Amino acid sequence: MKILRKLLFPFALLYGLIMWIRNFFYNSGILKSRAYTLPVICVGNLNAGGTGKSPMIEYLLKFLLPKFRVASLSRGYKRSTKGYHLLSGEETAGEVGDEPLQFKRKFNRAIVAVEADRQNGIFQLKNQNPEVILLDDAFQHRKVEAGLNILLTAYGDLYVDDFMLPTGNLREPTAGAERAKIIIVTKCPPKLIKPEMERIRHKLELRNYQKLFFSFIDYSDSVISKEKTLKLEQLKAKQVTLVTGIANPKPLTLFLEKKAIGFKHLKYKDHHNFSASEIAHLQEKEFVLTTEKDYVRLVDHFEREQLYYLPVQSAFLANEKEFQQEILDFMHKK
């Protein structure tokens, strides 16, 4: 696969040129972006997948919901429905996408919608009178000019070390990072030392207006099913089948290994839609552990206490209050 990607290098150069021209047209005003008086916060990345956008959207929902009427707008990747759809929470993941359904079921007070056309999505959401809209994975959606761009890049896979698709995983040239006011290095080791933070800061070559933060994935000490909660320690006595359909399951597998939990790993592609035969195969397993995102796709197919998920959340290594203040300052300026 790596050899094939290297052979596609000319196409990566061509794709990078096309994206550079596109960005130039938007930056120079030849192509128009639409700005809004309503606060719009975009959470996105330059690398394709695996930077922790969903946990960051959930962090913002948890932080903002006690103070504001919050809406989130996603594309609804691989959903069967078309156009704008306002979630009730009773849909299936196949109908609206796994991540939006996860947001709605976890934060029922949030206004959650899906629409590939972000301009139309924002227009429709105004009928719900939100005080702030969170755009999930819309950094390259230049037709919308978010008031605040938050760019995520994963530790060990920084965008400055990557290359354009299809040779690398970049969706656009690294100069696109200049649109972000906040850059967060996600999935860091929980005990990342300051010299390493400074090395990354220097490597990213931040602009004067940009703020850098570091976060990590904080896993729960319990797993949850429809009606039951088990401590991780209790999993040591079970035959665990780990099922993942996410971009980068390595942090999760390393966490479980560190906890001395044995498991057989069934790894699928990001946003995998499980077939009837795959589900039937999983139903034969004694104990199935999965991610929150995969859980919403699988839960309706399991009747007994057999399917569990491990909750996760984004946590900041330092300066969390400063990050929260940046968000509040943006809200108050609007």
pLDDT digits (tens, 9 = 90+) for 147-170: 999 999 999 999 999 999 999 999
Within the chain, residue ranges assigned H as helices are: 2-7, 9-27, 53-64, 93-96, 98-106, 118-125, 194-204, 250-258, 276-283, 292-298, 320-333
Is the pLDDT at 304 greater than 90? The verdict is no
CB neighbours of 206 closer than 8 A, spacing ≥ 6?
183, 212
d(CA 278, CA 282): 6
Would you state the structure tokens that stand for residue 21, as one six-digit string? 């021209």
CB neighbours of 116 closer than 8 A, spacing ≥ 6?
75, 76
Look at residue 3 in the predicted model and tell me its pLDDT. 84
Average pLDDT value for residue range 46-72 = 96
Structural domains present in the chain: 2-68+131-218+315-333 (3.40.50), 221-310 (3.40.50)
Taking only the tens place, the pLDDT of each residue in 205-231 is 999 999 999 999 999 999 999 989 999
Taking only the tens place, the pLDDT of each residue in 257-297 is 999 999 999 999 998 989 999 999 999 999 999 999 999 99
Taking only the tens place, the pLDDT of each residue in 93-144 is 999 999 999 999 999 999 999 999 999 999 999 999 999 999 999 999 999 9
Is the pLDDT at 41 greater than 90? The verdict is yes
Q: Are 192 and 37 in contact (CB under 8 A)?
A: no
Average pLDDT value for residue range 177-197 = 97
Spatial CA neighbour of 148 closest among 42, 23, 33, 36: 42
d(CA 54, CA 44): 10
d(CA 325, CA 315): 16
Look at residue 317 in the predicted model and tell me its pLDDT. 97
DSSP tag of 88: -
Look at residue 50 in the predicted model and tell me its pLDDT. 85
Handedness of CA 128, 130, 134, 140 (dihedral sign): positive
Average pLDDT value for residue range 176-200 = 97
Look at residue 334 in the predicted model and tell me its pLDDT. 66
The helix (run of H) or strand (run of E) holding residue 213 is strand 211-219
Look at residue 1 in the predicted model and tell me its pLDDT. 59
Confidence of residue 333 (pLDDT cuts 50, 70, 90): confident
Give pTM, 2 decimals: 0.94
